């Protein structure tokens, strides 16, 4: 049993009174000060024991302790990876002479909704030859992380000026390798628990899944182990940080599994079938809740919900409602679309494309009514509560 400082001090004082003639244990007494010093040391030891106990098991260890624990199983935390892309540099007119685009040329993306832009640096020197108007160059994100997985045609700003080059962009097919964040404690913990399935003879479904998840950039995987392409075949469907995995990520997973799979297994790495849906939500908020704050919380909850969806996991409307109902200010919620749960196959991934939110107000009758007195049953884009004159009980 772990004891606090107060509990240890109380025990020491009780034992002292029971076993010695000391009776003055006021805060100013010298013996009290000595007991407090001892109690502090003992309570710190209790705290250390608590930490060591928590960090001794994969299920509860965190940080460096977890790194040390999973190393016993032969695995390490996946590092963060930099995004690598193709950039297309172009000129308005055919080049009058060779134009050198040096290594280290810096470009950056347009600002996202949060006001952030992301810089990319070329990793090779290339020459736009005389008479040509464009050339493709490999570039790498300035920092590792999934935030650098920007959309198509968004890297359009040149930080480093190159004479003769008038534009830059990342066209269709620009992604070479998606970036990924440093593996979290929870992700590493789940992977460590699944690693036991890789220690047996042969390749189990969980073994293939764990092998795929061991490659940086893979955030989810499912296994088709019913001979999808004929006898001895196994399909491993992977999801990257950017949704559909890049060709390089697919190859990385193939090479990793190839070195560990049974010799007779024919393993194929597949991209998921991305299934996009729209959400239409009707949010009823309390009368004293601010619409912008509620909407921000609802959208954040939807993002968190979709971020936890795995390959082959459909939409359970009741679970989505339960997630949003925890948002402060939400009184009730109605999902207008989709109107029923959505099931997906094991090789599909569900993506929320557009989220529309309609607001209503819930409160006392006179607060909920608009001027025409419809008892708050009217949806309004910016519904607000009017002040009430307490002397005349009229609307201000």
25-77 confidence digits (pLDDT tens): 888 888 889 999 999 999 999 888 888 888 888 888 999 999 999 988 888 99
Look at residue 374 in the predicted model and tell me its pLDDT. Answer: 44
Residue 159 has pLDDT above 80, yes or no: yes
DSSP letter at 315? B
What pLDDT is recorded for position 27?
86
Given a cut of 80, whether residue 384 has pLDDT beyond it is no
Q: What do you get for the CA distance between the two ends of the chain, in Å?
A: 62
Cα angle at 238 between 235 and 242, to 5 degrees?
155
Output 360 or 362, whichever has higher pLDDT: 360
pLDDT at 50: 84
Q: 298: how many CB neighbours lie within 10 A of its CB? A: 22
Distance CA 77, CA 80 (A): 9
Q: pLDDT-based confidence at 373, cuts 50/70/90? A: very low
Q: Which residue has the higher pLDDT, 164 or 388?
A: 164
CATH of 185-271, one of 3.30.300, 1.10.3470, 1.10.1760, 3.40.1130: 3.30.300
Look at residue 72 in the predicted model and tell me its pLDDT. Answer: 85
Quick one: pLDDT at residue 385?
56
Taking residues 94-122, report their average pLDDT: 93
Separation CA 352–CA 358 (nearest Å): 17
Work out the angle at residue 241's Cα, subtended by the Cα atoms of residues 235 and 246, and round it to the nearest 5 degrees. 60
Whether residue 194 is predicted with pLDDT greater than 50 in this model: the reply is yes
pLDDT category at 190 given cuts 50, 70, 90 is confident
- The domain locations on the chain are 5-54, 84-177, 185-271, 274-395
- On the CB side of 348, CA atoms within 13 Å amount to 12
Strand pairing report for 266-270 and 233-240: parallel
Asked if the model's pLDDT at residue 381 lies above 70, the reply is no
pLDDT recorded at residue 247: 93
Torsion of CA 215, 217, 219, 225, to 10 degrees: -50
User: Which one, of 179, 181, 184, lies nearest residue 67 by Cα?
Assistant: 184
- pLDDT mean over 122-149: 95
pTM here is 0.67
């Amino acid at each position: 049993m772990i004891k606090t400082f107060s509990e240890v001090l109380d025990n020491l004082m009780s034992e002292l009174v029971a076993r010695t003639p000391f009776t003055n244990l006021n805060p100013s007494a010298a013996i009290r000060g000595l007991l407090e010093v001892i109690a502090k040391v003992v309570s710190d030891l209790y705290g250390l024991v608590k930490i060591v106990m928590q960090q001794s098991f994969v299920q509860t260890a965190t940080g460096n302790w977890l790194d040390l624990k999973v190393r016993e199983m032969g695995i390490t935390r996946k590092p963060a990876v930099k995004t690598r892309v193709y950039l297309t540099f172009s000129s308005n007119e055919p080049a009058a002479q060779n134009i050198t685009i040096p290594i280290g040329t810096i470009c950056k993306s347009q600002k996202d909704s949060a006001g952030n832009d992301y810089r990319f640096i070329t990793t090779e020197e290339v020459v736009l030859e005389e008479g040509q108007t464009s050339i493709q160059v490999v570039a790498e994100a300035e920092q590792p992380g999934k935030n650098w997985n920007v959309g198509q045609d968004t890297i359009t700003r040149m930080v480093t000026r190159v004479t003769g080059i008038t534009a830059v962009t990342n066209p269709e097919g620009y992604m070479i390798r998606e970036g990924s964040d440093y593996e979290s404690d929870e992700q590493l913990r789940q992977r460590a628990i699944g690693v036991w399935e890789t220690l047996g003879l042969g390749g189990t479904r969980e073994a293939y899944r764990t092998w795929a998840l061991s490659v940086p950039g893979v955030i989810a995987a499912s296994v088709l182990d019913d001979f999808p392409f004929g006898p001895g075949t196994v399909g491993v469907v992977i999801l990257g940080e950017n949704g559909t995995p890049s060709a390089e990520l697919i190859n990385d997973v193939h090479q990793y599994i190839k070195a560990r799979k049974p010799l007779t297994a024919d393993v194929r790495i597949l991209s998921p079938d991305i299934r996009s849906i729209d959400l239409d939500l009707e949010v009823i908020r309390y009368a004293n809740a601010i619409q912008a704050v509620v909407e921000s919380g609802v959208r954040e909850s939807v993002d968190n919900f979709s971020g936890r969806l795995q390959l082959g996991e459909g939409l359970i409307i009741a679970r989505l409602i339960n997630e949003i109902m925890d948002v402060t200010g939400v009184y009730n919620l109605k999902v207008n679309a989709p109107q029923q749960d959505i099931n997906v196959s094991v090789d599909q991934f569900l993506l929320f494309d557009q989220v529309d939110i309609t607001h209503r107000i819930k409160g006392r009758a006179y607060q909920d009514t608009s001027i025409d007195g419809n008892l708050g049953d009217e949806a309004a884009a910016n519904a607000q509560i009017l002040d009430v004159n307490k002397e005349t009980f009229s609307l201000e």
